[in-house]
Amino acid sequence: MADKMLTDHERRKQISVRGIAQVENVANIKTTFNRHLHFTLIKDRNVATPRDYYFALANTVRDHLVSRWIRTQQHYYETDPKRVYYLSLEFYMGRTLSNTMMNLGIQATVDEALYQLGLDIEELQEIEEDAGLGNGGLGRLAACFVDSMATLGIPACGYGLRYEYGIFKQLIRDGWQVEEPDDWLRFGNPWEKARPEYMIPVNFGGRVIKENNKSKWVDTQVVFAMPYDTPVPGYRNNVVNSLRLWSAKAENHFHLKFFNDGDYIQAVMDRNLSENITRVLYPNDNFFEGKELRLKQQYFLVAATLQDIIRRFKANKYGNRESIRVDFKTFPDKVAMQLNDTHPSIAIPEMMRLLVDIEELDWDTAWDISVKTFAYTNHTLLPEALERWPVHLMESLLPRHLEIIYLINLNLLNEVKARYPDDLDRMRRMSIVEEHGQKCINMAHMCIYGSHAINGVAALHSDLLQKHTFKDFFEMWPEKFQNKTNGITPRRWLLLSNPSLADLICDKIGEGWVTKLDELAELKTLANDQTFLDALTRVKRENKLRVAQYLKEEYNVDVNPNSIFDLQVKRIHEYKRQLLNCLHVITLYNRMKRDPNAKIVPRTVLVGGKAAPGYHMAKQIIKLITSVASVVNDDPIVGDRLKVIYLENYRVSMAEKIIPAADLSEQISTAGTEASGTGNMKFMLNGALTIGTLDGANVEMIEEMGKENFFLFGMTVEEVHKLENNGYNAQSFISKNSDLALCIDQIENGYFSPDQPDLFKDVAGVLRHHDRFLLCADYESYIKCQDEVSKTYMDSNKWAKMCLMNIASSGKFSSDRTIADYAKDIWGVEPSEEKLNAPYEPVEADHQRKGAKPS
């Protein structure tokens, strides 16, 4: 195993898809690396630390980006294309170094240069902190999307927040999740560039007065938004787009009264309060909490972003002539804004405020411009996740916006009344302002009314949005609704994370699949090629050996590399049903205890993910899994036939390590609850088989690969609705299944927590009395399906063919395809295969380029 892992350097030198390192380029890299070590970091080899070497390397690689970045922005300025702006409260980028080297095609060159310098590139890559600017699928999707937009040559910019602390660093202590600050910026970030010259004021609070029949927002508190730009390189096309993240900065002057009173400390404290807006990422993206700080974050993002977009629109169209009257009717021809879920939805009333109050357009013209500009992506079917902001909070923080929302709602209700004059109940259901209970603003309703396109993220999800969640809106505006099934970038999730598999594929079908993933379908012709199937199996085994070594080093658990590597890695949430997975583990354990000589196919069950800090049941589930692991892993009767490990602090960089080693992917949410999923696609692309329900994108995965290559169990959406409508009683299922009853009894009676017998009473209570996600109803089907998994795994040839069919059927699930569909159907822009001509050296002719500005 060690020999395999030590040959990585030699293997990379031979990889055709990364190019061949030229002697002169290696020498240039070495020179640049040493220059940065000496002149940027002010160190030499006598005192430099590994982190210094990482920063020298990052700056060396960034040098290869800069001229391409400038040239790309110059190209956009000169050609004035329609630009796409992707607004998201999360961008789960992970690490940047490896991805950048791969996209620029300099990986082998840099590797060779460092090898000659006596440094290990893999050790330096491990030093980089994950940019923890996201939580789960929504944030990682945004990261894949900006990668694809650059690779497709789409003029685009991502807009988000530069959180000083990421979601949190998860520690497992005595089996419990403990949160520590994710201080990802403590050593600095070599990839970002501050742009203080584009700092923007953002207003909060205050009051609204009337002057000449016009509203004026006055007496506000001002916080400044400082932009930090990160380059986003496309794959081998010299295009480098930008990700602009905003950081909150207090006003530069202190309140004079505090100085007069000598209260300097209070003045500084007030600055800190302002800057807290971007201090930390909220971890709950599947449960809405109406917290003031969250609303401040959302408005801070959109207020800064919209001002920035309008500034750029004016500069591109009218130069720097600030006094000229701007024609905003062409705005939708040059600007497309995508709202990633309802988090940036306050952008709609903010756009109206800017156009009506600041630019002095009439309401109808402004509304027409706004609707043509915005599009909205919905990411959830869970009622508790839909944003509803209390009116009293909106009135306190954003009084002018509340006025605008009331007027938007009046116009909406007038349209509904004109269409359905006698249907008052429909008007109540569709209202943006909800009057029942606490008076709230329904942000999803505002997004639908204020956007020209609304999309779900999987065919099933979009269908459920239209038939159930937003049925009234779909009946009134069916032309607005679309589906855009999610995707993942094949560069990071195969080429980068699984180079051995990438090499094998390239040897057979060439390199075109890296940007045209549907070319993987050519692999289907090799389904009966025993040599290729054996090679596929060998690659998987090498990946499993690497992960087995990693698990031994990190968790001190010896796992059997011949066992099924059974993975469920995602946010911990009841609807994702990690608890059902745990019930299967307990069932396997009980079988072994009943019959120690039973022939059971060995399994290594890996579970990872973070629970929101205030989510009691999710934390209980983590504790239960770790408690079951303690019992199972130490039982000599079980031996190496069953091991359970909870992966601490699961994140993007860990996903890149473990997904290539997976045999089985658990996508087991209750049918009708998962919007899409993207983890399921990453596993599929890397040759893992999926056990799952007919939920989210699983449905389309089955359509692509065939039902025979998927382990399907559980109820359909229709069966779920029927069961719930008839009155679901979990106890009726428990009483009919002795294995399930035993599992719940063990959980309830302290079998896995002998020192605290009542520890998991709440978990048992959920299963018996509050089984909202129907685990007990699906348990029997799930266990039978898992038995089929084990049986199939014993037939290595059949398993390899199924793996091949999964990989070969992944083409639809590229984020390149998803973004191309957005571009064509929603944004009205054209992807480009043209490569920009970008020199290595900085461009000197800026002053002759009509005042071109890179930002």
Residue 464 shares a structural domain with residue 610: no
Residue 304 shares a structural domain with residue 394: yes
Kindly state the DSSP code that residue 94 receives in the 8-state scheme.
B
Looking at the domain assignment, is residue 848 inside a domain?
no
Instruction: Say which residue the tokens 């129907």 belong to.
Output: 774
Q: For residue 434, what is the enclosing H or E element?
A: strand 433-434
The one catalytic residue among 12, 353, 571, 584: 571
Structure tokens at 56: 């020298």
CA 833/CA 814 separation, integer angstroms? 16
Q: Is 570 a catalytic residue?
A: yes
Residue 299: domain span: 82-95+130-320+330-484
pLDDT score at 160: 98
Q: Which of 336, 286, 52 is nearest to 167 (CA)?
A: 286
Q: Which of 266, 267, 228, 227 is nearest to 251 (CA)?
A: 267
Three-class secondary structure of residue 613 per DSSP: coil
pLDDT score at 316: 82
* Residues of the chain falling short of pLDDT 50: 1-6, 13-21, 840-852, 854
DSSP class per residue in 525-562: GGTT-HHHHHHHHHHHHHHHHHHHHHHHHHH-----TT
- Backbone φ and ψ for 139, nearest 5 degrees, come out as -70, -40
Among the candidates 763, 787, 806, a domain finishes at: 806
Among the candidates 431, 449, 484, a domain finishes at: 484
The one catalytic residue among 570, 573, 643, 817: 570
The one catalytic residue among 576, 623, 651, 801: 576
Residue 573 shares a structural domain with residue 719: yes
Looking at the domain assignment, is residue 17 inside a domain?
no
> Which residues, other chains included, contact 8 with Cβ-Cβ below 8 Å and sequence gap of 6+?
122
Residue 282 shares a structural domain with residue 373: yes
CA 823/CA 833 separation, integer angstroms? 14
pLDDT score at 9: 53
Residue 337 shares a structural domain with residue 229: yes
The one catalytic residue among 379, 401, 584, 651: 379
CB 523: neighbour CB atoms within 10 A? 22
Looking at the domain assignment, is residue 626 inside a domain?
yes
The one catalytic residue among 480, 682, 812, 817: 682
Inter-CA distances, 614 with 177, 181, 364, 756, Å: 11, 15, 44, 22
| Domain count of the fold of the chain | 2
Q: Is 540 a catalytic residue?
A: no
Instruction: Say which residue the tokens 């040839």 belong to.
Output: 797
Q: Is 516 a catalytic residue?
A: no
CA 769/CA 766 separation, integer angstroms? 5
CA 33/CA 197 separation, integer angstroms? 30
Residue 454 shares a structural domain with residue 598: no
Structure tokens at 235: 């794959």
Residue 598 shares a structural domain with residue 728: yes
Looking at the domain assignment, is residue 33 inside a domain?
no
Q: Is 452 a catalytic residue?
A: no
Q: What is the pTM of this model?
A: 0.94
Looking at residue 203, which CATH number applies to its domain? 3.40.50.2000
CA 44/CA 773 separation, integer angstroms? 59
Residue 676 shares a structural domain with residue 582: yes
CA 157/CA 146 separation, integer angstroms? 8
Looking at the domain assignment, is residue 121 inside a domain?
no
**CA-CA-CA-CA dihedral for 682, 685, 686, 692, to nearest 10:** 60
Residue 758 one-letter amino acid? D
Residues 526 and 535 sit within 8 Å (Cβ to Cβ): no
Residues 107 and 18 sit within 8 Å (Cβ to Cβ): yes
pLDDT score at 335: 98
CA 254/CA 748 separation, integer angstroms? 58
Looking at the domain assignment, is residue 67 inside a domain?
no
Residue 390 shares a structural domain with residue 289: yes
Structure tokens at 810: 């992944």
CA 450/CA 384 separation, integer angstroms? 22
The one catalytic residue among 342, 670, 678, 693: 678
CA 681/CA 806 separation, integer angstroms? 10
Summarised one tens digit per residue, pLDDT across range 350-390 is 999 999 999 999 999 999 999 999 999 999 988 888 899 99
Three-class secondary structure of residue 343 per DSSP: coil
Among the candidates 469, 484, 499, a domain finishes at: 484
Residues 526 and 818 sit within 8 Å (Cβ to Cβ): no
Structure tokens at 725: 């409508």
Residues 602 and 640 sit within 8 Å (Cβ to Cβ): yes
